[in-house]
């Protein structure tokens, strides 16, 4: 069994433990083309429309299987897999009621539509809040996949530096960057954001989406994508004929890099904003104000995974090795708003910015 199979087995074991703890008869994991995080983490299979995985104990032993619309079995490559059960997609509530007729308590994971269970008399127990941790730790192959999609976004931002010119509308830049991302990635995680920060102290007070880039400007670009089942999200601030602020931003990048390198397993999440603030001060940015309320979240199997990170977000969670995070610095310095966002790997001994 390779490392990827080992970590998938550990995820199933975590679900089995929760299943036993809550005395559930079966657990259904919904994977849809809109949100396939749990299903993909357990099997590596990206859904077409949607399908379910299940974990039950028909004869006292745990059994994994698939519950899939008839017309998708061959398209998903499941025709020769054991424990594949199918249903008529035109009679979904009836089919689910039939499948679950002997169950009293049913665990649900993922974006399962309520209508699927509208005729099912069993008690439904929703488990996302109990099991989000299974999405965090990743195998070497999964980390490589996150790094690959991050690399696609980094290439896109390198091209953004050449696109951002005075007189061009920001929505035009965003559309061009979207096209660049889709040349290599499977999908956008969200439409590319291009906003002017010039003279803006408050991030909520930005120039209009169709405004033109100024002769002297400060422009923030945020890009996100999904490729081969994995997500990344990065953002940079660009400077148009503004060398003074570009030099100050270089200090921000230096401080952020030092902050990430210092991240190690077992550091408590709620102290991360303070660690970044320390590095900013050490870089000579004493007049820089960091918004410590929100610093990011976990990322990888979805664009937004728990836990959230911030000084006022109470959590007992700690950094773990082989996890990936989206970390963002919202800064205000001398009346100017600046921002930097990176997808980061927490390694065994230090952190790594995956776009570098």
Tell me what pLDDT residue 291 has. Answer: 92
**Dihedral angle sign, alpha carbons of residues 228, 263, 286, 289:** positive
CB 303 within 8 A of CB 231: yes
The whole-number average pLDDT for the span 294-303 is 95
Q: Which 8-state DSSP code applies to residue 318?
A: B
Could you tell me which residue, 223 or 2, shows the higher pLDDT? Answer: 223
Query: How many Å apart are CA 195 and CA 339, to the nearest integer?
Result: 11
Q: What is the mean pLDDT of residues 121-141?
A: 94
The predicted structure's pLDDT at residue 57? 84
- pLDDT above 70 for 208: no
Question: How buried is residue 161: exposed, middle or buried, by Cβ count under 10 Å (0-12/13-18/19+)?
Answer: exposed
Q: What is the pLDDT of residue 59?
A: 64
What does the pLDDT average to over 241-255?
A: 95
Mean pLDDT (the chain) is 92
Tell me the C-alpha distance between 55 and 26, whole Å: 6
Does 201 have pLDDT greater than 60? no
Instruction: Provide CB contacts within 8 A for 236, sequence distance 6+.
Output: 157, 160, 220, 221, 340, 341
Averaged over 313-339, what is the pLDDT? 91
315, pLDDT greater than 70: yes
Q: What is the pLDDT of residue 70?
A: 94
Q: What are phi and psi of 57, to 5 degrees?
A: -140, 70
Each residue of 273-286: pLDDT tens digit?
Answer: 999 999 999 999 98
β-strands 26-32, 105-109 pairing? parallel
pTM: 0.91
What is the rounded distance in angstroms from the CA atom of residue 176 to the CA atom of residue 156? 10
The yes-or-no verdict on residue 211 having pLDDT over 90 is no
Q: What is the pLDDT, as a whole number, of residue 198?
A: 67
The confidence score (pLDDT) of residue 347 equals 97
For residue 251, what is the enclosing H or E element? Answer: helix 243-261
pLDDT at 203: 44
What digits encode the pLDDT tens for the residues 251-280? 999 999 999 999 999 999 999 999 999 999
State what percent of residues in the chain have pLDDT above 90.
83
pLDDT digits (tens, 9 = 90+) for 21-73: 999 999 999 999 989 999 999 999 999 999 999 999 876 678 899 999 999 99
- Residues 179, 163 contacting (CB under 8 angstroms): no
Spatial contact of 327 and 260, defined as CB atoms under 8 Å apart: yes
What is the chain's Cα-based Rg? 23
Q: Where are the beta strands (DSSP E) in 78-186?
A: 84-87, 105-109, 123-126
Q: What is the pLDDT of residue 209?
A: 61
Mean per-residue pLDDT, 79-104: 94
pLDDT at 206 over 50: no
Residue 338: closest CA among 283, 291, 282 = 291
């Amino acid at each position: 069994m390779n490392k990827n199979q080992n970590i998938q087995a550990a995820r199933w074991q975590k679900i089995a433990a929760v299943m036993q703890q809550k005395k559930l008869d079966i657990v259904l994991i919904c994977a849809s083309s809109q949100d396939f995080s749990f299903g993909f983490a357990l099997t590596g299979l990206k859904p077409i429309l949607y399908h379910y995985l299940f974990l039950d104990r028909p004869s006292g032993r745990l059994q994994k299987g698939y519950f899939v619309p008839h017309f998708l079995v061959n398209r998903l490559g499941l025709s020769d897999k054991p424990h594949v059960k199918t249903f008529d997609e035109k009679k979904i509530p009836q089919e689910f009621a039939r499948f679950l007729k002997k169950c009293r308590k049913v665990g649900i994971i993922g974006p399962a539509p309520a209508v699927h269970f509208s005729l099912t008399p069993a008690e439904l127990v929703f488990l996302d809040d109990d099991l989000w941790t299974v999405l965090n730790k990743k195998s070497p192959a999964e980390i490589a996949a996150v790094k690959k999609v991050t690399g696609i976004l980094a290439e896109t931002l390198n091209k953004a530096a050449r696109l951002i010119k005075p007189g061009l509308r920001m929505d035009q830049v965003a559309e061009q960057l979207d096209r660049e991302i889709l040349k290599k990635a499977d999908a956008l995680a969200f439409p590319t954001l291009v906003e002017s920060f010039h003279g803006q102290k408050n991030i909520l007070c930005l120039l209009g989406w169709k405004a033109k880039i100024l002769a002297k400007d400060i422009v923030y670009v945020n890009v996100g994508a999904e490729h081969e089942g994995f997500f990344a999200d990065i953002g940079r601030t660009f400077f148009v004929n503004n060398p003074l602020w570009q030099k100050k931003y270089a200090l921000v990048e230096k401080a952020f890099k030092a902050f990430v390198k210092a991240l190690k397993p077992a550091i408590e999440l709620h102290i991360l904003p303070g660690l970044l603030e320390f590095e900013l001060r050490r870089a000579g940015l004493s007049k820089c104000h960091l918004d410590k309320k929100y610093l990011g979240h976990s990322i990888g199997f979805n664009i937004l995974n728990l836990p959230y990170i911030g000084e006022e977000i109470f959590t007992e969670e700690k950094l773990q090795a082989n996890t990936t995070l989206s970390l963002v610095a919202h800064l205000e310095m001398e009346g100017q708003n600046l921002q930097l966002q990176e997808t980061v790997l927490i390694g065994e001994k230090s952190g790594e910015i995956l776009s570098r």
